[in-house]
Each structure stands twice: as C-alpha cells, then as structure tokens.
Structure 1
Amino acid sequence: MCEDNHGGLGRRALFVTGAAAALTLGSVSFASAADGNQGDRDQESRTVRGTLPPGSPDFVYVPVEVPAGVREIKVAYTYDRPSVPAGTTGNALDIGIFDDRGTELGGRGFRGWSGGARTEFFIRADEATPGYIPGPVREGTWHIALGPYTVAPQGLSYEITITLTYGEPGEAARPVYPPDRARGRGRAWYRGDCHLHSWYSDGRRTPAEIGALARAAGLDFINSSEHNTHAAHAHWSDVAGDDLLVMLGEEVTTRNGHVVALGTDPGTFVDWRYRARDNRFGRFARQIRRAGGLVVPAHPHATCVGCNWKFGFGEADAVEVWNGPYTPDDEVALADWDSMLVASVRDGRDWIPAMGSSDAHRDPDPVGRPQTVVLADDLTRRAIQEGIRAGRSYVAESAKVELSFRASGARGEHAGIGERLRVDRDTPVTVRLEVTGAPRCTVRFVTDQGVLHTSAPLPVSGSGVVEWRTTPSYAAYVRAEVRHEAAAGPVPGVLAAFTNPIFLGRQ
C-alpha cells in the first residue's frame, strides 16, 4: 500500500467550474497493468490524507489515474468528527465518483453518489454498491468527489483508500425498468407518495420493502427519489405491478434546497452541483421537463442545513407543502404557498399546485403519510403527472381520509379541485366538502381573504358534510383544510388533509 498526503488547501489552487466553487487536488497514480509493474498482485491500493479548513469549496476532487485491465475500483474513506460547542456545526463529508468522462456539470461522467450514507463503495461492470452505477472501469482519469457539507472550526481531516482489482470484467447486465402504466380504473382518484428513499441513497429499506409498505398504505403510485443519483432506476421493475405504478426520478439535493424530479425517463441523471447564486437551476429544471418529469421543490422551509429552498418558484410545476409528519415548518410552507396563490390571482399569473409526500427513509417512517390524491384519466405516468400539474389533487394523512370538494352556481354550473367555476362576480356560489375518515376534525374554508368559514368538529364517525356560500367578488378562490383538534389556544390543529383551490369567477 502506498501513501500520499494532500495536506491543506492553502497550497492548492481554487477552480470555479461554472457552478459551485470546486478544488482539484493532485492525482493518485497506479502502476500500469500493461507494463507489469504491479507484479503478481491482483490488487493495488493507495491511501491519501488531507485536511479541509472551514470555508472549503462545495466540492473537492481527487483525480485517480486508472490503468488498463482494471476489473473493479473500490473506495473507502474516514474523517474525524471532533466535539464542537452547542450550536456549532461539526464535520460531515459526502462522497461520490466520476469516471474517465470527467466532472463537467451535467456531463456523462457521473458514476454514483452516497453522500454521507456509506463509508465505502465499489464499481465493476456487472455490479456496484447501491447508489453507484455498474459499468466498465475504463482506463483514464477518474475523480473521487468529496463534498464537505459542514466543517468544524478545527477543520476536517480525511483519509481515502483506493483499491483497484485487476482481471477480466464481468458481463454487464442490461437494465430493466418498470412500465409507465399500471391497471387503473379509468378516470378516478389515485393515491401516491412521490418522495421516498431506499438503500440506493440514505434510506434503509429495499425497493421491495417500500413496495410492500406502499401497497399496505393503499397507494396506487410511488416515485423513486434518491438523493443525487439515478442508481435505483433499474431496481424497481420487480416491485411494480398491475396494482402499483412506479415512477422514476431523483431528489436533486443542492446546498440551497432540494427538488424532486418527478417521473423522469428511466436512466435520467440530474446534476446538483450548484447554488442559487450560480444561476444554473433553470438549466436543470428544463432538463427534468425534457426528460418527461415534473419540477417539485421539496420541504421548502425545512430547517436542516442546505434544505431551505432558495431558488424561487418560477420553474416549479408543483411544490411539496407537506413533508412527512406535520410540523411547524410545514405550517410555514402552507402559509407561504397560500400567499403565492393570492399573488397569482392578484397578478393574473399561473398558480402552483401543492403536494404532500412522506420523505420516508427507514423504520419507523410511514410510507404514504401524507399522500397526494390525484384525479387522473388513468394510472399512467403521463396521466398522474397531468393531474398533479393541473392541481386536480388533495393531500391526506392516510388512505382513511377521503374528500369530495366542489363549488356550484345557481344555474347548475360546477367545478372541482383545481378547476374554475366560471360565473359572474356577484353570482351566489355554494361550496361543499364531504369528508370521511377524520373523527373530531374541523373543516376550514380558506380564500384569498383568509379563513372565512370554520365548521363545528366532525362527529366521532369521522364523516360529515360542510357547506358555505359566497360569491366570486368575495372569494377569488376557495380551498379546504381538515384539521385535528388544536393542542392549545388559537393555534390551529395539525392537518388531516387539505385541497388545492377551486377558483371562482370568469377570471
């Protein structure tokens, strides 16, 4: 085993790659198999060490010169985790790899990312660690990508060991992807969870386990959304079935927020190596749509480092307002989304529909809590996406909660969720919500003027009908919230369900 020492960053040049700032260190070299310098060994290893100071660039690349004749590349790494005072960030170092095709932003060189979920990984032609892409280990310059997510005041010292195994490559398997459709019920309400993590990123469940939990939760569709990798795409075909549509995507996890690429073409990789100030997000939002997907900012007000959404909503097809168990940051996201609805009717602009997903990673995270319930023409990728994009959906805490929400005019005109009731501004309008599965919950009708009607608690059976009358001149839209009993005072209870709006008036 040979050793090298990268030292600190002070002696290295900083390169701006057209995205987030990045640093490229000195190369790690191996003997060529062709010249026989590796002797009779089947493997060779190199270990490199270095220290990253606070304020390090977002990405640090370690070039590895890979000779011909390599069957497998394996990388293992460790880094120190010193004690820090309360309120001070400690060390967190992510890792991934790019192959001989390079590290260009949005290029073809990406071969995998595990963030901080794994301490080692391997790649060979026939197999790879979850989160990484199988394929040949070609001769050329590969790059280990380090992502210093947070760095303690003491700095972040790391050690990386690269091991090459020589020999004939295994036979690469052709990927098999899940179908774009399942056996639907025609035009109907379909339930889904579009933000889930398996062991192909930082989750702990297999795709098969997630599929079983999705079926148990009463779901009709799910979306694969691993952090910064499409490695799971080829591992969902056995999970999909006539009763479960599996769409493919990615959670694009940048340093300035996360976005779910929902229902992209199989094998689509979306790069994440940029910040809001780099003005690159629009390029990758367009890539998501070219690949047949939807752009859905995730948990926009989450409090974890790098989770708060800072790219704006100009590229969003929908927004994830409710993420996992209902918490104060979801309440903030709901209020922020409602403000965007107000702005859209005030300015005559398009509106952004809301969604909810579980973001489940591991036990005991429940799959399908919450879930988005979509009115779609069939159980296909395109139909579900069209329903989401049109806002023909509501969000419920579980399959037990069912809503029917409509607005009607005096002459029989009617509209449902995501639609517009086209009547004159002074026409009386009746808003009607039918609820099941929400015992003792309270219904609120929310408009561009705020909460204008609150019902008495529903009976213990959880079923009830709530009606309210208004006019388009008084309410430009109406949406419904179903809330559990409040814990204290004027603070509203947590959501059991909420709808996208029905718009009132001729526009």
Structure 2
Amino acid sequence: MRFADAAPGAGHPDGASGAEQTRRVTGHLPTGAPDFVYLPVEVPHGVREIAVSYGYDRPTVPDGTAGNACDIGIFDERGTDLGGAGFRGWSGGARTEFFLRADDATPGYLPGPINAGTWHIGLGPYTVAPQGLDYDVTITLRYGAPGRTPDPVHPPERARGRGRAWYRGDNHLHSVHSDGKRTPAEIAALARAAGLDFITTSEHNTTSSHRAWEGLWGDDLLILTGEEITTRNGHVLAMGTDPGVFIDWRYRARDNAFAKYARAVRRAGGLVIPAHPHATCIGCNWKFGLNDADAVEVWNGPYTPDDEVTLAEWDNTLVAHTRGRASWLPAVGHSDAHRDPDVVGLPQTVVLAEDLSRRAVQDGIRAGRVWIAESSKIDLAFTVTGERGEHAGIAERLGIPRTAKATARLEVSGAPGCTVSFVTDQGRLFTSPLPPSGTGTVTWQTTPDHAAYIRAEVRHPPTTPGLPGPMAAMTNPVFLGPGS
C-alpha cells in the first residue's frame, strides 16, 4: 500500500498540517492460512498519525465448525522480525480501529515517532471458516508536526508493606489495553476493595498498559508490569517484567521457540507462569510443557472442572519430584478478570515475602511460599511438626526419619460450610468438616513412609457429580522425610 506525498504546504515536517490520505486494501485468506499475514504500508515523511480500521466477513458455518476470527496489530519501519524492535501494538480481536502518533495511541498501541519507511499491518487469522476469510483494511495517514512522546511514568518496584509477611495479590488482570473493559483506575479500586497488596498488569501481547497506572499505586498497593503472552498453543504470564519490555508471542509449540522466550522473560526480571493450562477456548490450553516454567496457574477465576484437571496434573508433578525426576513447580491462582461481573482477587495468590516489593514477591512465588484463596475473607496457617519439635511451613521440608510421626495442622477462618482435606502423593487421605462458623483447626498424623508431602485444601460442598466441591483455598506442599 503506497501513499503519494501530501499536497505542498499541507503536511510537511515544517509544521503545516491538515492533509490526510486514505487507502483501502481487501483480500482473502483461505483455510490453512499462516498464523500471521503482514500488509506492507509505505509511509512517507511528514506523517503525524496513522489510523487503521478493519473488518472481515463472518459466514454461517455448521455446528461444531470454527467461524472467522481475525486479530490485528501494527509494526513500524523496523520490521516484523520475531522478537524484533518493530512492534508498535496489538489489539487482537478486541477493536475494529486504532490510531497511533508521537504523543498518544489507542490502548494496546505504543505512542512514538511515525517514521518514514515500510510499516506492516499484522493480521492474525485466529480461526478461518471453510469458506475462507475476506478482510477489508482502511489506513489513513494524517500529516503535520510530529509532536513529542512523553516520558513514561512506570510504577515503583516497592510499596511500604509490613516487613516479612503474607501478601495477597492477583497477577492476571486485563484492562482496556487488551480485551478487558475496565480502566486501570477501576482495577486499582477493585484490587483495594478485595484486600489485595499487589497486582500485575498482564495484557494480551502488548505492554501499552505499563505507562497507564500513574497515580494509582500507593503505600498500600504495589503494581507490577507484565504481559500475557498469547500464543496459538497456550497463554503464559510474564509476571513482573521490566516496564516496557515486550515479549513476542508469534510461535507454536512445534516451532521449539518457547525456551528462548522464557529466557527473555527472565532476563527482563519476570517469572514464567503458564496460565489456565486446560482452558477449553481455542488456543488457550498449554502445549509447551512445564520445563521452562517458574510456577503454574492451577486456579483461574471461579473454580471449574478445568481447574480440577490442572490441579491433578500439577499434583502429578509433585509426585515426580519426590521420586527425584523433576524439580517441583509452585501453584498459584489468579482471577483473569476482564469485565463485570468478573471479580478481581477471585482467586488470589497469598505470598510469604520479606517485604512488599517486586523482587521479594517474586522470590516468594519462586520458592513456593504460597497459598491460594477465593477472597481475603479466608485466612489460614498450615504447618507440619515432628515428635521432637521439628517444624516446617509451606514449601519447606520436615526432615525427620521415615517412620517418625508427622502432624499436619491447618488453621482456617472465613470458610463457612467448607471441608478441609489433607492430600499426599497417595491422594486425599483425610477429610474433616469445619465448624458452621467456618473457623477451626484440623490436624492429622502420618509418617514420611506414607506421605512424601502433604498439602491442604479447603472446599465448598460438591456441585458437579463425580467431582469434589469447588476450591475455597489451597496450599502448596510441605515435603516430608530426609532430602534437600
């Protein structure tokens, strides 16, 4: 797509403005089209703003057949190379139009210079109907003085906190900067109302929200930056990455590229956390394995059978760890809240951290000093003790002889109508109802010979035949017996 120079005196870099040019391109993508298709746009000098709108057809398809869905984004003159510097924004299928210029951009897109050169509109045919997908893209260039890109103001890496303490957070949240409907200000208010100490902004395939939280953090709320890397074979949270660092998503499991981008997340100071690994939406379930993960999201939003499957898979990794076959991955839980009535902080990850800072919270998660709750109304304390006063908390090891007695103790409050279970490598071995008030202490005794680890669950009464009740809270394990 080529644009002729603007009319003389109407849009040159000397500051005159007012001219604009519009071009339209249409095309057809067949079933089996590439995951990403790039439309080159030759941008001349003197452009102040690029505006893009698009649409595509949605033909009727038989039941059980995917229809058309097409994402969109843009790359500047630096190119479309995977992991390159050319990325300027992505809105997926959440918007039909966007703009960007030096001083501003549509949420999801990055303000900055509109330099001359070959830009690319990126189309992502998420699903294509048997009839194929017809697309229609309109691009408008507006000429004039370029404007100035404001310096971004990013959240600080530390809040006041309470010293070494259990801090509550939600690391999977979406705003208007991807496919959410809430503003950052609305999310921050909901986080405070939910009793959270920290949150992470995790928009789909963009970092545009990193600069959008100015004035919303405080002594009571730590805001971390990140991204939900949304590939065609699953989603992964880059939790707590450096502000402004973009991690690419344009690859599949078969491309054997994920380990490279997991390293990129860590270089940017983030954690790698596969999200909703067994979600049923197309492209949402995790196909990359867990070898490159730092933790795994076992509970996503209101507890569902999908989470039950993820929980069982995660528990199997604990068993493998006790047999020396793998390191263990901590479990975390997040709301994935997008819009009303999604509840921010349902669930929430509760982390034992040295202070309320980016590094301390990440260290706590990486070490597994974590339990998960459906709300801040629930509090718990989980320990395992030996006969001689030995003591271990969540993510620790109780190093006692294999035949020595170990007593698990769970103190719970705020869980009326719920039942406590202790789960080991043999499965659920002990269950006890809480008092009607939802506050109580449950103990159970075993030995390392019979339990390589113990973790605790607090559940509501069953609602789905054949499955235990929805989770109210759960812990990471305490390991038993000699070992490291």
- TM-score class normalised by the smaller sequence: over 0.9
Who is 1:306 aligned against?
283
**Helix, strand or coil: the match of 2:26?**
strand
Partner amino acid, structure 2, of 1:158: Y
Who is 1:478 aligned against?
454
CA distance in 1, matches of 2:369, 2:429: 22
Q: Does 1:30 align with 2:3?
A: yes
Who is 1:380 aligned against?
357
Q: How does 1:233-248 map to 2 (within 5 A)?
A: 233-248=210-225
Q: By how many angstroms is 1:32 displaced?
A: 2.5
Who is 1:326 aligned against?
303
Q: Does 1:505 align with 2:481?
A: yes
Which one of 203, 210, 229 corresponds to residue 252 of structure 1?
229
Q: By how many angstroms is 1:181 displaced?
A: 0.5
Q: How does 1:66-465 map to 2 (within 5 A)?
A: 66-455=43-432, 457-465=433-441
CA root-mean-square deviation = 1.4
Contact 2:10 2:144 in 1 (8 A): no
CA distance in 2, matches of 1:422, 1:306: 42
Who is 1:495 aligned against?
471
Who is 1:17 aligned against?
none
CA distance in 2, matches of 1:159, 1:348: 52
Partner amino acid, structure 2, of 1:115: G
| Residues 321-342 of structure 1 deviation map (CA, whole Å, 9 limit, x = unaligned) | 0000111100000000001111
Q: By how many angstroms is 1:408 displaced?
A: 0.5
| Residues 258-283 of structure 1 deviation map (CA, whole Å, 9 limit, x = unaligned) | 00000001111000000000011111
Q: By how many angstroms is 1:38 displaced?
A: 9.0
Contact 1:38 1:44 in 2 (8 A): no
Contact 2:40 2:121 in 1 (8 A): yes
Judging changes above 3 Å, is the alpha-carbon distance between structure 1 residues 38 and 383 closer, same or farther for their aligned structure 2 residues? closer
- Structure 2: any 5+ residue segments left out of the alignment? none
TM-score by length of 1: 0.93
Partner amino acid, structure 1, of 2:446: T
Q: By how many angstroms is 1:35 displaced?
A: 7.5
| Range with bigger deviation, 280-289 or 479-488 | 479-488
| Range with bigger deviation, 117-126 or 39-48 | 39-48
| Residues 430-467 of structure 1 deviation map (CA, whole Å, 9 limit, x = unaligned) | 10000001112111110011111111x21221101100
Partner amino acid, structure 1, of 2:119: W
CA distance in 1, matches of 2:197, 2:379: 15
Partner amino acid, structure 1, of 2:178: S
Partner amino acid, structure 1, of 2:42: E
| Range with bigger deviation, 458-467 or 344-353 | 344-353
**Helix, strand or coil: the match of 1:277?**
helix
Partner amino acid, structure 1, of 2:473: A
Q: By how many angstroms is 1:37 displaced?
A: 10
Q: By how many angstroms is 1:360 displaced?
A: 0.2
**Helix, strand or coil: the match of 1:29?**
coil
CA distance in 2, matches of 1:209, 1:165: 33
Contact 1:31 1:38 in 2 (8 A): no
Partner amino acid, structure 2, of 1:396: A
Partner amino acid, structure 2, of 1:30: F
Q: By how many angstroms is 1:348 displaced?
A: 4.8
TM-score by length of 2: 0.97
Partner amino acid, structure 2, of 1:497: A
Contact 1:184 1:378 in 2 (8 A): yes
- Percent identity reads 69
CA distance in 2, matches of 1:300, 1:358: 14
Partner amino acid, structure 1, of 2:328: W
Q: By how many angstroms is 1:84 displaced?
A: 1.3
Judging changes above 3 Å, is the alpha-carbon distance between structure 1 residues 366 and 313 closer, same or farther for their aligned structure 2 residues? same
**Helix, strand or coil: the match of 2:72?**
strand
Q: By how many angstroms is 1:170 displaced?
A: 1.5
**Helix, strand or coil: the match of 1:62?**
strand
| Range with bigger deviation, 228-237 or 208-217 | 228-237
User: How many pairs were matched up?
Assistant: 479
CA distance in 2, matches of 1:148, 1:178: 34
CA distance in 2, matches of 1:176, 1:472: 52
Partner amino acid, structure 2, of 1:494: P
CA distance in 2, matches of 1:289, 1:55: 34
- Structure 1: any 5+ residue segments left out of the alignment? 1-27
Who is 1:468 aligned against?
444
Q: By how many angstroms is 1:171 displaced?
A: 1.7
Q: By how many angstroms is 1:112 displaced?
A: 0.1
CA distance in 1, matches of 2:258, 2:319: 25
Partner amino acid, structure 1, of 2:223: V
Q: By how many angstroms is 1:349 displaced?
A: 2.8
Contact 2:6 2:20 in 1 (8 A): no
CA distance in 2, matches of 1:306, 1:136: 34
